[in-house]
Copies of this chain bind each other. A is one copy, B any other.
């Protein structure tokens, strides 16, 4: 059978409707037995040898001509062919094939065994080359089909995560801390602060039920200062003035300004974003701790009753400005690592509010 290209789509006559559309989900029906195919569908039929030519062009020549005519044709062809091989029917999504156009998707994929006519969409797929960046905002709801430099495919599912928290802990009413460079020392921390609240880290492995020295991270300390629980005094490298230990500042506002200034000095605006995400997570009953060992901002525990009886953390959280664009290679790194340690990778996109995004690898 031979097709004819017209206005960017390939028309097929004969028994095409029955042979390609009704029984195998290619193209969309026109009048009678005629159907029209997108270039990528036509190329796939040529590739499989089901179609002989399009205006006399064989697969190779049609492929080259389509590459010249349509941006990212090669990438889209690879993904189309792969999803077909996995047993899915799918349609181009950019031009009302057949549902309403979705300018942010390349293909709509139907549930296995279903066709366009069933009106149910399983995945909305966005095709991305390894070297293209992807806006983080409004990514939830799409499957990214990433084509790497060697033309291998990875599918990443972007969803809105559920982050339930059940930790019930109120810090003591009053704590005194010493701001030292980029951390805060609480010399006489009640054992509860660490053991139940999972705030900070005991100094150099000291283990006792008595009040003992705890080191807080800047973000933990800033959050406790914002809650008016922690009061600060300050010691700085190179600061040789003789401030007595109890030279605390004027009040909570001053303390908050001081720790925010310190946070911004060491992390810039990132500190503000991390603090907001930290406080939101704590407010929702989760316990965020540093995600450093996983290259993330936080790992989170849904419910902490005590540190000595801690379950695994469930999420890794990376905090980003809402305007962030993902480099697919960075995304692959985060998602792969999270998968390897059986945690869910979550991105907190911070603007006026916080938008949550989870990305995980899927095998369609």
A160 contacts the other chain (CB 8 A): no
In the complex, the chain B residue whose C-beta lies closest to that of A202 is B151
- A68-100 CB contact bits vs B (8 Å, 1 = yes)? 111111110110011001000000000000000
Chain B CB within 8 A of A341 CB? yes
The answer to whether B237 touches A181 (Cβ under 8 A) is no
Q: Which of B187, B237, B292, B330 contacts A295 (CB 8 A)?
A: B330
Chain A residues numbered 158-187 whose CB sits less than 8 Å from any CB in chain B = 178, 180-183, 187
Closest Cβ of chain B to A9, distance in Å, is 18
Q: How many residues from A make CB contacts under 8 Å with B? A: 70
Instruction: Check B72 against A131 for contact (C-beta < 8 Å).
Output: no
**A39 lies within 8 A of chain B by Cβ:** no
User: With A60-B245, A74-B180 given, is the CB distance from A150 to B290 under 8 Å?
Assistant: yes
The stretch among A212-220, A252-260, A306-314 that forms the contact with chain B is: A212-220
- A211-246: CB near B (< 8 Å → 1, else 0) gives 000011111100000000000000111111000010
Chain B residues whose C-beta falls within 8 Å of the C-beta of A349 in the assembled complex: none
Contact status of A289 and B201, CB under 8 A, knowing A237-B68, A336-B294: no
A292 near B74: Cβ-Cβ < 8 Å: no
A122 at the interface (CB under 8 A from B): no
Please tell me if the beta carbons of A70 and B292 are within 8 angstroms of each other in the complex: no
Given contacts A131-B182, A245-B60, contact A293 B150 (CB under 8 A): no
Could you say which residues of chain B place their CB within 8 Å of the CB of A340? 337, 340-341
Q: Which of A284-334 contact B (CB under 8 A)?
A: 289-290, 292-295, 328-330, 332-334
What is the minimal beta-carbon distance from A52 to any residue of chain B, in angstroms?
18
Complex contact A152–B201 (CB within 8 A): yes
Which B residues touch A181, using CB under 8 A?
67, 72, 74-75
- A328 and B220 CA atoms in complex are apart in Å by 20
A-B contact pairs, 6 of them (CB 8 A): A72-B237, A148-B293, A149-B183, A149-B217, A149-B219, A151-B203
Please give 19 more A-B residue pairs, beta carbons under 8 A apart, in addition to A64-B235, A149-B183: A60-B187, A68-B237, A69-B240, A70-B237, A71-B237, A71-B238, A74-B180, A85-B204, A85-B205, A148-B292, A149-B182, A149-B218, A150-B200, A152-B293, A154-B293, A292-B332, A293-B332, A295-B329, A340-B340
**Ranked 7 nearest A-B pairs via Cβ:** A295-B333, A148-B292, A340-B340, A81-B204, A149-B217, A151-B215, A150-B290
